[in-house]
Amino acid sequence: MDLGLRGKTAIVTGGSTGIGRAVTEMLAGEGCKVAVCDIEPREAAEAFAHSVSITSGTACIAVYADVSSEADVTALNNTVISEFGGYDVMVNCAAITTTAMISDLGLEDWDRVLSVNLTGAYLVSKAAIKHYMEKGAGGRVINFTSQSAFRGTKSGHAHYAASKAGIVGLTRTLALETARHGICVNAVSPGIVYTPTMEDRINSRREQYEAEIPLGYVAEPKDVAYAAVFLASDMGKYITGATLDVSGGIMLR
The residues annotated as belonging to the active site are 160
Largest CA distance in the chain: 52
> In Å, what is the CA distance from 61 to each residue of 22, 94, 132, 197?
15, 17, 21, 24
174 with 121: CB under 8 angstroms? no
Task: With residue 173 as reference, give the H or E element that holds it.
Answer: helix 158-178
Q: Is the dihedral of CA 34, 6, 225, 235 positive or negative?
A: positive
Supply the DSSP symbol for 183: E
The rounded distance, in Å, linking the Cα atoms of 164 and 136 is 30
Torsion angle defined by CA atoms of residues 227, 228, 229 and 231, in that order, rounded to the nearest 10 degrees: 90
Please give the C-alpha separations between residue 25 and each of 17, 90, 192, 246, 248, in angstroms, as whole numbers.
11, 15, 20, 19, 22
Residues 232 and 237: their CA atoms lie apart, in Å, by 8
- Please give the Cα distance from 236 to 121 (Å, whole number): 20
